[in-house]
A and B are shown apart, each in its own frame.
Chain A
Amino acid sequence: MGTVAMPETKTMLTLPGDAVRQILWRFADRFDLQMLVQSARGVARGTVARLVASGERNTHEWTAAKDEMLNAFDRAGITAAFMEPEEGGFIAGPKNLALGLAAFELAWVDGGAATASLAGFLALSPIHERGTPEQMKRYKMLAAPPQPGEDRKPWRGAFALTEPIPYVGVDAGMLSGKLRIAEWKDGEEPILEVDKRGRFITGIAVANFVTAAVYTDDPRIKGSCVVILEETDPGTFDRGTATKKLVHQLSSTGDPVFNLRVPASRIVGGYTVKDGVIVPNFNHSEVIEAVFRRTRVPVGLMTASKLLSAVEPVIRYQRQRYRGAEGAKPGSVRYEQGLQQREDALHRLVDVWATGEAASSLGFAAARLFDELDPLEKQKTAILKERGIAGGRAEMKALKESEQRAIEFLKLKEGDPRRAELEADPLVQFVLKDSEANVLCPATKLWNTGHGANMMREAVSLMGGYGITEDCPGFLANKWMDAQLEATYEGPEAVQRRQLTVTMTSEVFLAQFSAWTAEMRRIASTRPGTGACTLASAMNLWTWSLHYLQNATDPTGGKLYHGQRQGVTFALADALSWLMASRCQILDVLELESRGASDAVAAEGLEGTVQFLSDLCHVQAAAAAGEVSRICAELVFGYTRHPAWDEEEHRSCFLAAELEELEETMPGIMAMAVDVVEIDGSHPQKAGPCAGCVGSSEFLRLQSRLTMCLTGARLAKDRAADTVSKVMIPEALDYPAAGPA
């Protein structure tokens, strides 16, 4: 009989399939999301892949084929994923996870396609988050794909925040848009004149409407706002020239110019008139803050998707590398395993895979968190409104008490009756989730895209020269370059680091972080193979370093943890992002372990899958720990001036003669002394006496513990590598490579 015996091992059988992913990313009970995934996948690996393969990325201009891709999004329900059922959608409730999943599936093939889908959502987001009921109804219904029997083209949108054009003397952060009153007749709605130049505006080639950030240029309008422009408004709606992007060419980007007259009812969120002055209900900052904290998460997930999408093509390439060569006869190790005979090839792929898993876990955790936060935020606004509190600062002040209650909640033990009381308080829950979201969102955008781009380069390198050709299976080189844009648009890395600088030091966040550290230790006690202990030690080191740096000064007395001192704050933000990603990855694997058995498909070979994914967690936790250790050590010690061999600073050193005397009463001390100054004044050949800093012994103790916690990490990597060399993959990739020109 032409069969083989069933193997009895704990090795993962196949690449993780949908059943496993649905549990890991917590949408196993959501068939609306499962269908969206299948639908988006169909478009990505069909329409989108064909566009990429046929070279459609080789043009900057918007083409009919690219336009057809948007139609495919409409038909597949991707566009409708943003809408409520009554607006033409099919998903009820918050949609952060839904949009994240759709972006993930599209980016599996092409990041530009994902961006094209997100651009429309980004345009609608200001209206969705802060728009008046009339604005929401109008634009969401216009943007919804036609229902059966309807014959209309859905509206497309673009969001124009605008970066200043470089080298023209405009400061970053300035809005290059002006708003004036063109006409204001008694008893009628004011007509506004909008002057706006956009730069790098996504989706502009097809936009029927634009949500544009503008600043007042008229004393009768207060501050800034976001205003809705339509292509048929009187005036100039010039889409401008297409940006000559090297990446994401399946999305349209251009530098539009608008000079339009619009009614004041187009101000997003409406306005009130006070003393003859139009006061927008929301300034542009309030609008974009609500928008970006949500839309940045799908971008992070796009890069995560690329990393995981690289696994299958790299494995296939590695295994088949020598096939066809004279020296590789079928059945030989060289023929069967190819490059996977080499530990380095396997280990590097394990690193890419582990990063992809961690990035996905972080991104989906952030997306789910916003799904939980959205209704709480509405509840919070309603409660505060009832108390007569509205507006950013007033709300922040009012929530101070809730922050203390939230911290109290975190310190209470399970079963404490007070805990249940605080848990039921929506303001406490809002504060907790908000502080977490304020870190997870920038961490996702920063770490997934920034570190993800670096690891995408690693994935490309694993394909050798083939990796940087157009016909590399999986379009890996495109994905690598695209990742750089993902790290840049919607707030570049510096913006995310700056946000983290503030949010990661919030009292509520740090209280949660402390609870999470303890949680990792608990997990480690029952699941030591996950690297949770390593991570907990790294989290401890980070916390200690933050507190140290918040109080320490440099030799000139300058504060170390300070907004302007980005060498400190940004580095700590980077370190924290590593930790957050690793934590989310571990929690996801535990979820799979606990729930996998109840799903018949995921249960098959579950032990092997959990073992492999746990090993990846361990690998990632070790990498995170290494980064944290390096960054923190550099910060804690790096701002202390190194002692010199001068009169003043070698006073703490032993003199050789003195040491000889001491040796008589303390035998062995000579062997332990490092910095010894000889009678002739000579000293060891190094920069100066060994340095220390206040509290350095505690840092070194924590760092030493962390180092020891790396025990077993490389064994986990070896196990993971072994699985990578054995795991079954499909015979062919399910989307094409580039074809003949």
Chain B
Amino acid sequence: MSNSLHIVVCAGIVPDPLQTLEPLATPTGPGLKNEMVLPAVLDPWAASALYEAAALAAKNPGSKLWLVALGPKAKLQQVMMTVAQKVAFELVPVDGPIGGFPDAHATAAALSSAIESIAGLDHTKLLLFGGWESASRGAGVTLQLIGERLGIVDQFFGVDEISLREDGSFEVLERVEGGKHQVSKCAGTPAVLGWATGNLAEPRNNPQVGMANMRTIMPALQKAQTAKLDANSLSYVSVNLPRQQRETRVEKNMTPDEIAAELVDWLGKDF
């Protein structure tokens, strides 16, 4: 028996992690220096969710996949030139501010409203995916809040795997302490899954997939609704980058053992 699913992935965009990120004060609150012009990518945590969602949809014929993304639509369009080549989906863009500083409640309200406006979305088949964490300043609560607003009470976070059964129930592996997973069984959809990294590699770019996606993405971007997020509900006392974590280095030629050994050394250091 096939379980056709309606999977909605919530994903923001963040600056490419190799970029220089420097917090600064803007008239509308904290921001990152030159963020609008920095190359952006789909938030890597949410990107994992998207790839898992696409794989799940492919395994369950009749399933549909939407990507709901909030950000400046011009910036979203740029990011789509890569993301749209990865997997097939329909984009539901929400034109809004860039950066991770808006209030999570306001963001959740805008995103849940966008999800509710999706024509043909069947809430009984709904799996709401997103990142468990975020590469931007994430409060770590946005996905939960969207789930609450949509009335979805089964929520799983730090997810690395979902196994769907024929009866529509599923098993979820969530990360817990010590590198272990907690195994949960859920009777069925709807559910919220905040993904950790999952198990899938990033799909390769395929412009043909991209061209097919673009037929719906470009009109959707043109019609994107603007979300005005309340900027006054939060005030920031201080904004700093975690300095040690910004020691960026690209290593594509080290073996996993070498990388692990270096990480262990690093963890043992006093900062």
A residues whose Cβ falls under 8 Å from a Cβ of B: 1-6, 13-14, 17-19, 31-32, 34-39, 42-43, 46, 49-50, 53-54, 72, 75-77, 80-81, 90, 599-601, 604-605, 728-736, 739-740
Q: Does B269 contact A (CB under 8 A)?
A: no
Q: Which B149-173 residues have a C-beta within 8 angstroms of A?
A: none
12 cross-chain CB contacts under 8 A? A1-B237, A6-B24, A6-B26, A31-B81, A38-B81, A77-B207, A601-B74, A601-B78, A604-B37, A732-B248, A736-B253, A739-B253
- Cβ-defined contact, B238 with A1, below 8 A: yes
Q: Is the interface of B mostly helix, strand, loop or mixed?
A: loop
How many CB-defined contacts (below 8 Å) exist between A and B? 147
The answer, among B18, B25, B34, B36, for a CB contact under 8 Å with A1, is B25
The smallest C-beta distance from B263 to any residue of chain A, in angstroms, reads 17
B12 sits at the interface (CB 8 A)? no
User: Shortest Cβ distance from B47 into chain A, in angstroms?
Assistant: 14
Do B39 and A18 have beta carbons less than 8 Å apart?
yes
Do the beta carbons of B18 and A90 come within 8 Å of each other?
no
Nearest-neighbour CB distance to chain A for B168, whole angstroms, equals 28
Nearest B residue (CB) for A148:
B208
In the complex the two chains form, what is the Cα distance from A568 to B212 in whole Å? Answer: 54
Contact B75 A42 (CB under 8 A): no
In the bound assembly, the distance between CA atoms of A49 and B78 in angstroms comes to 23
Which 5 A-B residue pairs are closest in the complex by CB-CB distance? A739-B253, A600-B74, A77-B207, A39-B205, A604-B36
Closest to A75 in B: B204
Task: Check B252 for interface membership: any CB of A closer than 8 A.
Answer: yes
**Proximity string of chain B (229-271) to chain A, C-beta cutoff 8 Å, 1 when within and 0 when not:** 0000000111110000010111111100000000000000000
Q: Known A-B contacts: A39-B85, A604-B34, A733-B250. Give 14 more (CB < 8 A).
A: A3-B23, A4-B24, A6-B24, A14-B34, A17-B37, A19-B74, A19-B78, A42-B204, A54-B253, A72-B204, A75-B205, A77-B206, A605-B34, A734-B250
Contact B208 A77 (CB under 8 A): yes
Chain B interface residues (CB < 8 Å from chain A): 16, 18-20, 22-26, 30, 33-34, 36-39, 72-75, 78, 81-82, 84-85, 204-208, 210-211, 214, 218, 236-240, 246, 248-254
Beyond A14-B34, A17-B38, is A38–B253 a contact (Cβ under 8 Å)? no
Q: Which of B23, B205, B207 has the most CB of A within 10 A?
A: B207
Closest to A598 in B: B74
Complex CA–CA separation, A54 to B252 (angstroms):
10
A726 to chain B, nearest CB (A): 12
The chain B residue with its CB closest to the CB of A49 is B252
The reply to whether B210 and A35 form a contact with Cβ atoms under 8 Å apart is yes
Residues of B within 8 A of A54 (CB): 253
Given contacts A6-B25, A77-B206, contact A90 B211 (CB under 8 A): yes
* Inter-subunit contact B207/A35 (CB<8 Å): yes
Q: Which of A6, A80, A732 contacts B207 (CB 8 A)?
A: A80
Structural contact, A50 and B20, CB atoms closer than 8 A: no
**Which of A80, A599, A600 has the largest count of B CB atoms less than 10 A from its CB?**
A600
Residues of A within 8 A of B38 (CB): 14, 17
How far is A576 from B148 in the complex, measured between Cα atoms in Å?
Answer: 68
Q: What's the Cα separation between A31 and B237 when bound, in Å? A: 42
How near does chain A come to B32, taking the closest CB pair, in angstroms? 10
Which B residues are in CB contact (< 8 Å) with A605?
34, 37
How far does the Cβ of A99 sit from chain B's closest Cβ, in whole Å?
Answer: 14
Quick check: B238 and A32 within 8 Å, CB to CB? no
A18–B77 Cα distance when bound, in Å, is 11
Provide the residues of chain A in CB contact with B250, threshold 8 Å. 732-736
The answer to whether residues A35 and B84 also contact, given A17-B38, A604-B37 and a CB cut-off of 8 A, is: yes
* Bound complex: CA A546 to CA B84 (Å): 52
Select A35's contact among B20, B74, B204, B211, beta carbons within 8 Å. Answer: B211
Which chain A positions have C-beta within 8 A of B19? 730-731
A31 to B221, CA, bound (A): 13
B82 touches A38 (CB 8 A): yes
Q: A3-B24, A35-B81, A42-B82 are in contact. Are A731 and B248 (CB under 8 A)?
A: yes
Contact B30 A3 (CB under 8 A): yes
Q: A53-B253, A75-B204 are in contact. Are A728 and B20 (CB under 8 A)?
A: yes
**Closest chain A residue, CB of each to CB of B19:** A730
Q: Report how far A736 CA is from B248 CA in the complex, Å.
A: 13
Cβ-neighbour of B238 out of A2, A5, A13, A729 (below 8 A): A2
Closest-by-CB residue of A relative to B258 is A740
Distance in angstroms from B92 CB to nearest chain A CB is 18
Known contacts A35-B207, A42-B82; is A2 also within 8 Å of B253 by CB? no
Question: Which of the listed residues A3, A50, A728, A735 has the most CB atoms from chain B within 10 Å of its own CB?
Answer: A3
- Report B-chain residues with C-beta under 8 Å of the C-beta of A50: 252-253
Least distance between B23 CB and chain A CB atoms (Å): 5
In the complex, the answer to whether B36 meets A601 with C-beta atoms within 8 Å is yes
Is A76 a contact partner of B237 (Cβ separation < 8 A)?
A: no
A13 touches B205 (CB 8 A): no
Residues in B whose Cβ lies below 8 Å from that of A31: 81, 210, 214, 218
Q: How far is the CB of A596 from chain B (nearest CB, A)?
A: 11
Chain B: CB-nearest residue to A6: B24
A90 and B18 CA atoms in complex are apart in Å by 31
Are A38 and B75 in contact, with the CB atoms below 8 A? no
Q: Looking at B22, B26, B72, B82, which has the most chain A CB atoms within 10 Å of its CB?
A: B82
Q: Is the CB of B251 within 8 A of A736?
A: yes
Known contacts: A18-B39, A735-B250, A739-B254. The answer to whether A728 contacts B34 by CB under 8 A is yes
What A residues does B246 contact at CB under 8 A? Answer: 731
Question: Considering the chains assembled together, what is the distance between the CA atoms of A734 and B82 in angstroms?
Answer: 16
- Residues from chain A with Cβ under 8 Å of B218 in the complex: 31
A3 to B236 CA separation, bound complex (whole angstroms)? 11
A264 to chain B, nearest CB (A): 36
Assess the A601–B75 pair: CB atoms within 8 A: yes
CA distance A729 to B33 in the complex (A): 12
Q: Are A731 and B78 in contact (CB under 8 A)?
A: no
CA distance in complex: A200, B74 (Å): 46
Contact between chains at B36 and A90 (CB < 8 Å): no
* Min distance, Cβ B112 to any Cβ of chain A, angstroms: 25
Most chain B CB inside 10 Å of its own CB: which residue of A31, A32, A50: A31
B239 and A38 form a contact (CB under 8 A): no
A730 contact set on B, CB distance < 8 A? 16, 18-20
Chain B residues contacting A734 (CB-CB under 8 Å) are 16, 18, 250
Considering the complex, give the chain A residue whose CB is closest to the CB of B237.
A1
Report the Cα distance A42→B81, complex, angstroms: 12
Q: Is the CB of B78 within 8 A of A13?
A: no
Chain B residues contacting A735 (CB-CB under 8 Å) are: 250, 252
Chain A residue with minimal CB distance to B38?
Answer: A14
Taking the nearest CB of chain B, how far is it from the CB of A739, in angstroms?
A: 3
Question: Which of A54, A729, A734 has the largest number of chain B CB atoms within 10 A?
Answer: A734
CA distance in complex: A358, B38 (Å): 24
Residues on B with beta carbons closer than 8 Å to the beta carbon of A35: 81-82, 84-85, 205, 207, 210-211, 214
Q: Write the nearest CB–CB distance from B187 to chain A, whole angstroms.
A: 35
* C-alpha spacing A46/B24, complex, angstroms: 33
Contact call B37/A14, Cβ cutoff below 8 A: yes
Residues on A with C-beta less than 8 A from B249 are: 732
A39 vs B204: C-alpha distance in the bound complex, in angstroms?
A: 8
CB of B185, distance to nearest CB on chain A (Å) = 34
Q: Which residue of B lies closest to A46 (CB)?
A: B252
Closest residue on chain B to residue A1 by CB atoms = B238
Kindly list chain A residues whose C-beta atoms are within 8 Å of the C-beta of B75: 600-601
Whether B85 contacts A38 by the Cβ 8 Å rule is: yes
Contact indicator B20/A2 (Cβ below 8 Å)? no
